Amino acid sequence: MLKLYLERFRQNKLAVIGGLFIVLLAAVALFAPCLCPRDPLAQNLIERLQGPSLAHWLGTDDLGRDVFSRLLLGARISLSVGFVAVGIELVIGVTLGLCAGFFGGKLDTIVMRLVDVMLSIPSIFLILAVLAFLGPNIYNVMVIMGLTAWPGLTRLVRGECLSIREREYMQAARLSGLSTPRILFVYLLPNVISPILVSATLGVGGAILTESALSFLGLGVQPPSPSWGNILSIGRDYMHIAWWLSVFPTVAILVTVLAFNLLGEGLRDVLDPRT
């Protein structure tokens, strides 16, 4: 079965390209401190706002810091925020979705009403309000994004569980006297893992985009730590004389989010039993 999945995935060229780019980006983020040609935090006002050159491949910012090195280190921070936020989302969303779909009754009603309330509040406004109260830093961004992103996943997992829990093998598992946690995580969860993987892949791209927007507004990763969003925020003030400060972080965000979306769509096509 795995060989069949891999063969079908290989046939989707765009998904393969997206997956390879993500693997490359993850390796770059992991070894970013070693790959940076210059210190991403070192300031040199003599070289401020210099364009791309052999000395500074992507130019320098308003404090003379190397933009290429800051983009490499920013990749680590942006990917970390995306993966941690989605990890929190998975823990909450999958657990609540499994319980609501399997047990039903009052628990299902309570969970779904909570989901309805959360979905009725624009998530970006909720994140901005909480960050304004707690203060902007990378850890608050990770946690708050994860705590506000789970309702959609919960609804997805619950819907899958409702269609699976009445099947013969699930009834046989209940009649055999197996414990509820074993039924949930050994028999039910593996059968809903496909949409979870797709949702998680797409969610990482969305989380990176949200983190970049928050950092652009000054409510995400705080200077001097680089992220693609705050590099772009600096470029906003110098767009007329230093185009590279806006173009290169924009391209980094665009290509990364596009890669995660292509991979997610590819996984959806491969894992969908209807195809």
Give me 98's structure tokens. Answer: 């499994």
What are residue 60's DSSP bridge partners? 66
Residue 256 has pLDDT above 90, yes or no: yes
Q: What are the sequence ranges of the domains in the chain?
A: 65-271
Residue 273 has pLDDT above 80, yes or no: no
Residue 229 has pLDDT above 80, yes or no: yes
| Cα(89)–Cα(67) distance, integer angstroms | 32
Q: What pLDDT is attached to residue 23?
A: 93
231-247 pLDDT, tens per residue? 888 888 888 888 999 99
Output the pTM of the full model: 0.86
Span between the terminal Cα atoms of the chain, in Å: 14
78-130 pLDDT, tens per residue? 898 889 999 999 999 999 998 888 888 888 899 999 999 888 888 888 888 88
Asked if the bond preceding 224 is cis, omega within 30° of 0, the reply is: yes
User: In one letter, which amino acid is 217?
Assistant: L
The answer regarding whether domain 65-271 maps to CATH 1.10.3720.10 reads yes
| Cα(171)–Cα(40) distance, integer angstroms | 58
